[in-house]
Structure 1
Amino acid sequence: MTGTAADLEARAPGPVEGPPDLRLVVPALATWGAAAICLTADVPVVVAMCAGGVVAAGGLALAVRVLAVRARARRVPAGRPRAAAVAAAVAAALLCASAGAAVGGLAGAQTRRGPLPQLARQYARVTVEATVTGDPRVTRPRARGAVQAAPAVVLEAEATRVVTAQGAATAVRTPVLLMARQSWLGLLPSTRVRAEGRLAPPSRQGDRIAAVLRVRGDGPPQVLVGPSAAQRFAGRLRAGLRTASDGLAPDARALLPGLVVGDTSRVPAELDEAFRATDLTHLLAVSGGNLAVLLVLLTGPPHLAARAERRGLAGRLGLPLRLTAVLGGGLVLGFVLVCRPGPSVLRAAACGLITLLALATGRRRSLLPALAAAVVLLVLYDPWLARDYGFLLSVLATGALLTLAPRWSGALRRRGVPPRIAEALAAAGAAQAVCAPVLAVLASRVSLVAVPCNLLAEPAVAPATVLGFAALATAPLAMPVAEQLARLAGWPVLWTAAVARTGAGLPGAGVPWPGGPAGALALAAVTAAAVLLAPRLLRRPWACAACALLLLLAVLRPAPLERAVTGWPPPGWRLVACDVGQGDALALAAGPHTAVVVDAGPEPGAVDRCLRELDVDTVPLLLLTHFFFPRFRSVS
């Protein structure tokens, strides 16, 4: 489930208005689809789509105009506003598709022009001057045979000058990915650097990256121009939050910067995997939920923000509505600056502007057109978002919270469910229902604990966000105060970590599911069938209880029941070869719930899972036969 800044508005109590306004949805989808297609299309295809859209829209507008003139000449009442509205919507969709095709074609051409793509295909050694455009991040080390690769730092940049080994220098403007060592981890966006290394083509075709530069040497980066003043200020704020959280428990120390500003550099691999298994990763990628908490702190609940009884700091101080909206806009800009203007932050900012629009209009129904308009603007600003899975998840979740969640919440309330619980269940269920097919494509699995884990973790998000941002703002002025605020924020953060670890540790937390488009369509069909059958089940308490019991058994998977159904693990087992991917792992029975383990594979999760299935909780001896020392977490 992906959090959005519109979720509080979508779950706000109040009467549900009429049918949603869908007029801008079709133009938004047309822009999105055309940009996604033209990012990798040939020039003739892009030109044909742009020209065809403009010509078709102009022809449609002309036809509507001619029909209207003829109707007036014959003194026939126009009387067909619906037909005119449909024609206008189709014309707008065609024009938006043309605009999306144009920006998509230009963005795709930028990654293919210049000498860098050709040099990357030749694996040439070059010297590149580039401006850092993204956050440096550490990659997970991979095992190669008996050797574990050293962790690398990767960062996105825009190459501005390239010098080949023969001395030919060319000015370029091409997006590249730099792979360097740990000394590059402190670079800030807008920093200009010079790097020497070997080029390679990107691993995926059709990506925004034109080439990958593996930087030579382990030394610090050669900085040509330092970061901008705004980026330095934002960097000091983020560094202050990390310093303030240094004294917390390990999980809180790792997660607090991630929950507040999306800094996941401290999150260990096994905790990150637990968040993935429970579909809580949206908490670590800065989402609209973080911004929603800050905006609600300023404006109060969105459904009351434009009324006399509005709450929040603005209401307490008696600030006018327009001034409140301006302050909210400044808060959004500050949020983008501190959390970096990456795709996920831009999505969060767009959702925050949607909430501010709701503040100005006071109508929930206006949020869906605003969401569609935000999609159009963001795709035209950055066409690569049209192929970004995170952007897709954010839009799907927001749309579900604006359309499905209010209706589901009303249905639950009519059946006696308390309003708060009904709103939380409807929001979590709606977001998970529309996002699950996309998540299945990415992970080839379906989480059975995502909805309950999101419901349990949600109460901790608001206090952790507010206290975390308070610590971030206080750190440059009074570090002892910031440390106390971070200590208070650590409690809800630890609760979130406990929910993720507990949910991921359940035997049936996730079930394998086919990946790819076929798997997504199959899961979408299953979800749609479940949604259609849900009203009938809700009228039958015994059927609801039976479904809940089956789900509970599937998640807990008691050992006797699993052994009876699958025959695994066999009774009296003596030796088991565990499937740990690359590498080996053997478990030799050494008594009740005890086994000697020989090797463990490159990652701890696979061997841990195997030992838990064997009901092993004590490992008295671990034998390693390779010069490879994996990160092994004992189950004793």
Structure 2
Amino acid sequence: MKREREADLRLVPPALAAWGTAAWALGVSLGVALAVAAGCVVVAGVLLVGRRSGWSGVTGAGVLLCAGAAAVVGGVHGDDVQRGPVPELAAEFADVRADVRITSDARRTRPRVTGDRMSRDAVVVDAEVLRVVGAGGREVGTRAPVLVVVSGEGGAGWLGLLPSTRVRVAGKLVPPMGGGDGVAAVLRVRGDAGPEVVGEASWVQRVAGRLRAGLREATEELPGDARALLPGLVVGDTSRISAELDEAFKETDLAHTLAVSGSNLTIILVLLLGPPGSAQHVERRGLAPRLGVSLRGTAVLGGGLTLAFVVVCRPDPSVLRAAACGAVVLVALATGRRRTMLPALAAAVLALVLYDPWLARSYGFLLSVLATGALLTVAPGWGAALRRRGVPARLAEGVAAAGAAQALCAPVVAVLSARVSVVAVPCNLLVEFAVAPATVLGFAALAVAPVAMPVAKVLAWCAGWPAGWIADVARAGAALPGAGVDWPGGWGGGVALGVVTVVGVLLGRRVVGRPLWCGVLGVLLVLVVLQPPPVTRVVTGWPSPGWKLAVCDVGQGDAAVLAAGEGAGVVVDAGPDPRAVDRCLRKLGVTRVPLVVLTHFHADHVAGLAGVLRGRAVGAIEVTGFEEPVDQVGFVRRAAREARVPVVRAVAGERRRVGELEWEVLWPPGEGVVGEGANDASVAMYVRVGGLRVLMLGDLEPVGQRAMVDSGALAGVLRGGVDVVKVAHHGSAHQDAGLMRAVGARVALISCGAGNSYGHPAPGTVAALREAGAVVMRTDRDGGLVVGGVGDGVRVMGGG
């Protein structure tokens, strides 16, 4: 048997040199970049004239010439986005009228919580300014890349625009944040009017748009997750992906399957050409030879498919990387040259960073190249090692591929998300067999839809099964208590994780051959991921046995839990972060929620609702009658509708009981709102749980607090006594001192985020509570809090 050659690495140094130089040159002046390029050319010439061999000869000269070319290209591109009228007008925050050409699909932003508000949805789209008119009325022609951000009802009109469409808009030009790689400015457009179309899309984009629309129609009747995921998996259309599903894919590091990526093109090319080889002769595998297509015909057909794929799926970094790799392979096939994927990857990187140097700064491109490189260099060795230790071949290859990609990509993901997925490898392994059929059947539906929609719907239905499985794996993996761990973000955290990964791999090589240690580590990993409450209580001591009230550490927001029996709890507010409240409920062992009480609709109390609903039986959601802010009310009602949970209104005087837990709603009054709007419309409750007496005040301000006292609602509370008070509004300075003294609680609990910009809790409030005889505990310093005991035996434990 002929022995395979070693990997051909000759193109790797030039590709890396060009990549690094392009990333650097984009951030320096054009003069400096050209000077460096000239220096590279001079040194390369000296090496070539000297006719020296080895690294310092032809190879070194090639590396220097590629670096010099990247310096020129990067310097020119970096200079382009800083010149012309658009950056100048942006520096003045000028109001302008502009003709722009759309260069990407429009997409909605995900709402973000800022303080007590949830940002409204906006529509963003990449575009190129062709003509701009400033305040002086002077019209200037240009070609400057911008990011268009559309807020207001007019954003809906942008969602259907195809790339290459020309529109006329009025808005404000502002400088991009953080330097804005590849963007000269941000064009902010406000108002309810849609864009004025002055030039329709090219015929190529219109055809691509019809294909994408056909796929959306073919998938319209699929079940929820499959309906959302399949268009994203096939053509990158993520418009149906919910925030919750998106978060689940990120938590399990399956985001590369959430939307179209280079792997989709690889699947199609492998179907046509067969798997890549490294033999010295041309392999004839895949469908092409079986259909009688010649070598050159196969290359032409593959090139056409690659071009069509890029147009229909849009030129994202991973798609461009895969397309360039595929093009190199197709050229090698057409010319009869042996095809190896590592040189193809290096050639693709080199070509792409010289064509578009902004890719050198793209995290998506970096992750795509790292994942592909891991599969080509690290995974084969790991797979062979596992096979030598008796692991079945297919399982060994799958584990090695998922593990290698995760090892190389996890440090970069940590840079971006400050989090490490613990379940990434098993989740990727579980979806591996489903990606190919979903992709192939989805593309078949895409191609057939324009001519035979019924057939396309059948194909989409078939593709929906593996797509639904992928979504199910993502949701199940994200729902595990130990699915991910927080990690320092930024490049410091990334480097630290890289070091930990290397050490882990080195230690793992010794452990793999020892079944006992493998078993022990496997059990420990399962415990870390599942985090069964009995085990976590033994290890951490939190929550303490017999807890009755918990205040979760959810950052700057509120989320509390009242014990309502084994595995059950009434949740009062959901905090700003779904992941944080979900994690808290899992630590508490709460799997059943008879009622969720949302004291008012501010985002720091309701934005985490999806985390409460995730994987739990929820009986109902009770809300205040003051329905503002309107957009956040809509958010709650949409989440409840999707989860099929009824929404009811809290009424003062209402009494409820669940097991040993009973409570009375004290506020707000049914006839209207008194005080300062949403905060003073907070639901206030008097709770008894196993003898523990708790007063929960929501975010009531002094006006609302005094109005509640004046209404007589607290008369019974003061007679019955209060053991614990959940301090209003995160312990802000806006408190009614008379109420705090009258309550006389033994323990005061404050929920607030560490280092918050509001100064919560106010030192004066903390001092007043202590003067009133209360022990003050706060989540920003003490972590999650649990309360147990009754009367003089009340005890509070932090550290959750």
Tell me the TM-score normalized by structure 2. 0.73
Counterpart of 1:131? 101
Larger deviation, residues 372-381 vs 337-346: 337-346
Partners of 1:59 and 1:524 lie apart in 2 by 38
Are positions 1:141 and 2:111 aligned together? yes
Counterpart of 2:276? 302
How does 1:188-267 map onto structure 2 within 5 Å? 188-267=162-241
Counterpart of 1:58? 45
Match of residue 20, structure 2, among 28, 33, 37: 33
Larger deviation, residues 449-458 vs 17-26: 17-26
Counterpart of 2:409? 435
- Secondary structure of the corresponding residue to residue 341 of structure 1: coil
Shift of 1:154: 0.1
- Secondary structure of the corresponding residue to residue 204 of structure 1: helix
Q: Label 1:144 to 1:393 Cα distance change in 2 as closer, same or farther (>3 A).
A: closer
Partners of 1:526 and 1:459 lie apart in 2 by 30
Counterpart of 2:667? none
- Whether the 8 Å contact between 1:471 and 1:481 is mirrored in structure 2 is yes
- Whether the 8 Å contact between 1:300 and 1:311 is mirrored in structure 2 is yes
- Secondary structure of the corresponding residue to residue 295 of structure 1: helix
Are positions 1:465 and 2:439 aligned together? yes
Counterpart of 1:9? none
Larger deviation, residues 206-215 vs 347-356: 347-356
Aligned AA (1:632): L
Partners of 1:578 and 1:360 lie apart in 2 by 63
Match of residue 572, structure 1, among 536, 539, 546: 546
Shift of 1:85: 5.7
Shift of 1:518: 2.0
Partners of 1:432 and 1:354 lie apart in 2 by 26
How does 1:394-543 map onto structure 2 within 5 Å? 394-543=368-517
Counterpart of 1:105? 75
Counterpart of 1:21? 8
Are positions 1:47 and 2:24 aligned together? no
Shift of 1:505: 0.8
- Whether the 8 Å contact between 2:30 and 2:76 is mirrored in structure 1 is no
Partners of 1:585 and 1:494 lie apart in 2 by 32
Partners of 1:29 and 1:285 lie apart in 2 by 27
Partners of 1:385 and 1:591 lie apart in 2 by 55
Q: Label 1:259 to 1:362 Cα distance change in 2 as closer, same or farther (>3 A).
A: farther
Are positions 1:281 and 2:258 aligned together? no
Shift of 1:373: 1.2
- Whether the 8 Å contact between 1:131 and 1:192 is mirrored in structure 2 is yes
Are positions 1:557 and 2:531 aligned together? yes
Shift of 1:307: 7.7
Deviations 1:334-388 (A, max 9, x none): 1111101232321221232344356568888732222111111100111000000
- Whether the 8 Å contact between 2:276 and 2:341 is mirrored in structure 1 is no
Larger deviation, residues 211-220 vs 595-604: 595-604
Counterpart of 1:89? 59
Which structure has the greater CA radius of gyration? 2
Partners of 2:371 and 2:411 lie apart in 1 by 12
Q: Label 1:354 to 1:419 Cα distance change in 2 as closer, same or farther (>3 A).
A: farther
- Whether the 8 Å contact between 1:306 and 1:360 is mirrored in structure 2 is no
Larger deviation, residues 191-200 vs 577-586: 577-586
Q: Label 1:365 to 1:423 Cα distance change in 2 as closer, same or farther (>3 A).
A: farther
- Whether the 8 Å contact between 1:358 and 1:367 is mirrored in structure 2 is no
Aligned residues: 606
Shift of 1:607: 2.1
Partners of 1:609 and 1:176 lie apart in 2 by 39
Calculate the aligned-residue CA RMSD, in Å: 2.2
Deviations 1:84-142 (A, max 9, x none): 46411111111111111111111111111112223223222111111111121110122
Partners of 2:471 and 2:316 lie apart in 1 by 25
Q: Label 1:493 to 1:147 Cα distance change in 2 as closer, same or farther (>3 A).
A: same
Are positions 1:168 and 2:138 aligned together? yes
Q: Label 1:131 to 1:247 Cα distance change in 2 as closer, same or farther (>3 A).
A: same
- Whether the 8 Å contact between 1:357 and 1:367 is mirrored in structure 2 is no
- Secondary structure of the corresponding residue to residue 171 of structure 1: strand
Q: Label 1:328 to 1:304 Cα distance change in 2 as closer, same or farther (>3 A).
A: farther
Partners of 1:15 and 1:216 lie apart in 2 by 67
Partners of 1:87 and 1:582 lie apart in 2 by 60
Aligned AA (2:499): A
- Secondary structure of the corresponding residue to residue 557 of structure 2: coil
Match of residue 115, structure 1, among 85, 91, 97: 85
Deviations 1:557-586 (A, max 9, x none): 121221111122222223222233443222
Q: Label 1:549 to 1:559 Cα distance change in 2 as closer, same or farther (>3 A).
A: same
- Secondary structure of the corresponding residue to residue 217 of structure 1: coil
Shift of 1:593: 2.3
Deviations 1:504-525 (A, max 9, x none): 1111111111122222222112
Counterpart of 1:604? 578
Shift of 1:16: 7.4
Aligned AA (2:529): V
Q: Label 1:360 to 1:235 Cα distance change in 2 as closer, same or farther (>3 A).
A: same
Counterpart of 1:178? 148
Partners of 1:363 and 1:419 lie apart in 2 by 30
Partners of 2:2 and 2:393 lie apart in 1 by 13
Q: Label 1:62 to 1:578 Cα distance change in 2 as closer, same or farther (>3 A).
A: same
Higher RCO (C-alpha 8 Å, min separation 6): 1
Q: Label 1:548 to 1:322 Cα distance change in 2 as closer, same or farther (>3 A).
A: same
Q: Label 1:576 to 1:166 Cα distance change in 2 as closer, same or farther (>3 A).
A: farther
Partners of 1:169 and 1:386 lie apart in 2 by 34
Counterpart of 1:8? none
- Whether the 8 Å contact between 1:275 and 1:500 is mirrored in structure 2 is yes
| Bigger fraction of residues in helix | 1
- Secondary structure of the corresponding residue to residue 57 of structure 2: helix
Are positions 1:632 and 2:609 aligned together? yes
Larger deviation, residues 156-165 vs 409-418: 409-418
Partners of 2:489 and 2:287 lie apart in 1 by 47
Larger deviation, residues 522-531 vs 328-337: 522-531
Partners of 1:163 and 1:589 lie apart in 2 by 63
Shift of 1:184: 0.7
- Secondary structure of the corresponding residue to residue 508 of structure 1: coil
Unaligned runs of 5+ residues in structure 2 are 618-800
Aligned AA (2:526): L
- Whether the 8 Å contact between 1:136 and 1:184 is mirrored in structure 2 is yes
Counterpart of 1:151? 121
Aligned AA (2:397): E
Q: Label 1:341 to 1:305 Cα distance change in 2 as closer, same or farther (>3 A).
A: farther
Counterpart of 1:73? none
- Whether the 8 Å contact between 1:17 and 1:365 is mirrored in structure 2 is no
Unaligned runs of 5+ residues in structure 1 are 1-13, 68-82
Larger deviation, residues 335-344 vs 310-319: 310-319
Deviations 1:390-430 (A, max 9, x none): 11111111112111122222222222222222221221111
Counterpart of 2:324? 350
Tell me the TM-score normalized by structure 1. 0.91
- Whether the 8 Å contact between 1:288 and 1:352 is mirrored in structure 2 is no
Aligned AA (1:590): A
Partners of 2:388 and 2:331 lie apart in 1 by 30
- Secondary structure of the corresponding residue to residue 178 of structure 2: coil
- Whether the 8 Å contact between 2:23 and 2:74 is mirrored in structure 1 is yes
Partners of 2:497 and 2:295 lie apart in 1 by 45
- Secondary structure of the corresponding residue to residue 173 of structure 2: strand
Shift of 1:459: 0.4
Partners of 1:40 and 1:390 lie apart in 2 by 19
